[in-house]
């Protein structure tokens, strides 16, 4: 039976040692995967690959499982970047697609831009949340790039390690690791520069938080990064359901 990581005495619940959290997760969680959004969460992959190269215990390259959600609406730059990351790190990066029956029904009924009128929840549920739910149902735990500084409204209390309150794993309980929870955007970018990590070229064009092309826009200096996402909706709705527990949803 899986033991919740936060109940294990050796796990440091509040830490900014992101690589240490990844190493701990890879050592203790059997079916574990990194969720890669095609943005600066590439730092997680870089750290995991460093651990694998260093041959840390069970942390070998073959154990690294990385997945990415292909909504069908990403920027061309993001698709190219995902492939760049795949080849740069020589990893088996799994691409998750929406269920085509559900997607066709939505598009047939409401067209390709229903989110501007109806809000993003329905489209995100089909293109992101449902494929993620299917994937997580095969796992014991997942690693995300969430940070507290990404959203004052929805992410400022996320834990470094927690039991996922929104999704189930293959045996019920699902561990969720947010190794960058205590990191700032500046620290992430310092890491990317220091370690020469490949990054999405959209970042250099003012996109700080990158999602689907129709729902993401560049932000101005001093604007908060999440202001570029679903800008037509209020701040408390700026989550796509991948981290539904952040806003109290079950
Ligand atoms: S971010 Fe926009 S296009 Fe992408 S799944 Fe959500 S509503 Fe649909």
**H or E element at residue 52:** helix 42-53
The rounded percent of the chain whose pLDDT value lies above 70 is 85
From 123, 209, 210, 242, give the residue whose CB has the most ligand 1 atoms within 8 Å, as the site to mutate: 123
Nearest to 47 by CA among 16, 83, 7: 16
Per-residue pLDDT at 17 exceeds 60:
yes
d(CA 120, CA 24): 35
Catalytic residues: 240
- Atom nearest to 127 CA in ligand 1: 5
Specify the pLDDT at position 15.
93
More confident position, 39 or 107: 107
pLDDT-derived band at 1, boundaries 50, 70, 90: very low
List pLDDT tens digits, range 150-206.
Answer: 866 667 789 999 999 999 999 999 999 999 999 999 999 999 999 999 999 999 998
List pLDDT tens digits, range 104-122.
Answer: 999 999 999 999 999 999 9
Q: Is any atom of ligand 1 closer than 6 Å to the C-beta of 71?
A: yes
Give CA angle at 183 (76, 155), nearest 5°.
75
For residues 239 and 37, the answer to whether their CB atoms sit within 8 Å is: no
- Atom nearest to 120 CA in ligand 1: 7
User: Longest Cα pair distance anywhere in the chain, in angstroms?
Assistant: 52
pLDDT-derived band at 27, boundaries 50, 70, 90: confident
- Atom nearest to 215 CA in ligand 1: 2
pLDDT-derived band at 70, boundaries 50, 70, 90: very high
Q: Is any atom of ligand 1 closer than 6 Å to the C-beta of 128?
A: yes
Specify the pLDDT at position 2.
45
More confident position, 12 or 15: 15
Query: How many angstroms separate the alpha carbon of residue 202 from the centre of ligand 1?
Result: 18
Q: Is any atom of ligand 1 closer than 6 Å to the C-beta of 215?
A: yes
Specify the pLDDT at position 55.
75
Query: How many angstroms separate the alpha carbon of residue 9 from the centre of ligand 1?
Result: 40
Average pLDDT over residues 49-59: 77
Nearest to 244 by CA among 179, 174, 186: 174
Specify the pLDDT at position 8.
57
Q: Is any atom of ligand 1 closer than 6 Å to the C-beta of 115?
A: yes
Specify the pLDDT at position 247.
53
From 131, 209, 215, give the residue whose CB has the most ligand 1 atoms within 8 Å, as the site to mutate: 215
For residues 188 and 194, the answer to whether their CB atoms sit within 8 Å is: no
Q: Is any atom of ligand 1 closer than 6 Å to the C-beta of 214?
A: yes
List pLDDT tens digits, range 122-157.
Answer: 999 999 999 999 999 999 999 999 999 886 666 778
DSSP class of residue 3 equals P
pLDDT-derived band at 224, boundaries 50, 70, 90: confident
Query: How many angstroms separate the alpha carbon of residue 112 from the centre of ligand 1?
Result: 10
Contacts of 76 (CB under 8 A, 6+ apart): none
- pTM over cut 0.85: yes
**What domains, with CATH codes, occur in the chain?**
15-205 (3.40.50.620)
Query: How many angstroms separate the alpha carbon of residue 215 from the centre of ligand 1?
Result: 6
Query: How many angstroms separate the alpha carbon of residue 114 from the centre of ligand 1?
Result: 10
Instruction: Pick the residue whose CA is nearest to atom 4 on ligand 1.
Output: 212
pLDDT-derived band at 250, boundaries 50, 70, 90: very low
When the pLDDT of each residue in the chain is averaged and rounded to a whole number, the result is: 87
Average pLDDT over residues 208-222: 86
Specify the pLDDT at position 4.
54
Q: Is any atom of ligand 1 closer than 6 Å to the C-beta of 178?
A: no
Q: In sequence order, what DSSP letters do the residues of 191-243 get, joined into one string?
A: HHHHTT----GGGGGT-SS--BGGGB----TTS-GGGGBSTTS-GGG---STT
């Amino acid at each position: 039976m899986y033991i919740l990581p936060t109940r294990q005495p050796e796990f440091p619940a509040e830490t900014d040692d992101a690589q240490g959290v990844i190493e701990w997760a890879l050592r203790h969680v059997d079916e574990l995967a990194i969720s890669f959004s095609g943005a600066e969460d590439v730092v997680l992959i870089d750290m995991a690959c460093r651990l694998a190269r260093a041959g840390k215990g069970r942390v070998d390259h073959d154990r690294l499982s990385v997945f990415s959600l292909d909504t069908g609406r990403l920027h061309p730059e993001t698709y190219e970047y995902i492939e760049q990351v795949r080849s740069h790190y020589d990893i088996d990066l799994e691409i998750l697609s929406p269920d085509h029956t559900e997607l066709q029904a939505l598009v047939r009924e409401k067209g390709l831009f229903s989110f501007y009128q109806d809000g993003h929840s329905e489209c995100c549920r089909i293109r992101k949340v449902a494929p993620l739910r299917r994937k997580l149902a095969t796992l014991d735990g997942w690693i995300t790039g969430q940070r507290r500084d990404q959203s004052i409204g929805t992410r400022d209390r996320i834990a470094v390690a927690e039991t996922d309150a929104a999704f189930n794993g293959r045996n019920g309980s699902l561990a969720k690791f947010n190794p960058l929870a205590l990191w700032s955007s500046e620290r992430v970018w310092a890491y990317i520069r220091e370690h020469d990590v490949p990054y999405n070229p959209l970042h250099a064009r003012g996109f700080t938080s990158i999602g689907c092309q129709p729902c993401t826009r560049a932000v101005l200096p001093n604007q908060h990064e999440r202001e570029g996402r679903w800008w037509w909706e209020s701040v408390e709705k700026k989550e796509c359901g991948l981290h539904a527990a952040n806003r109290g949803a079950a």
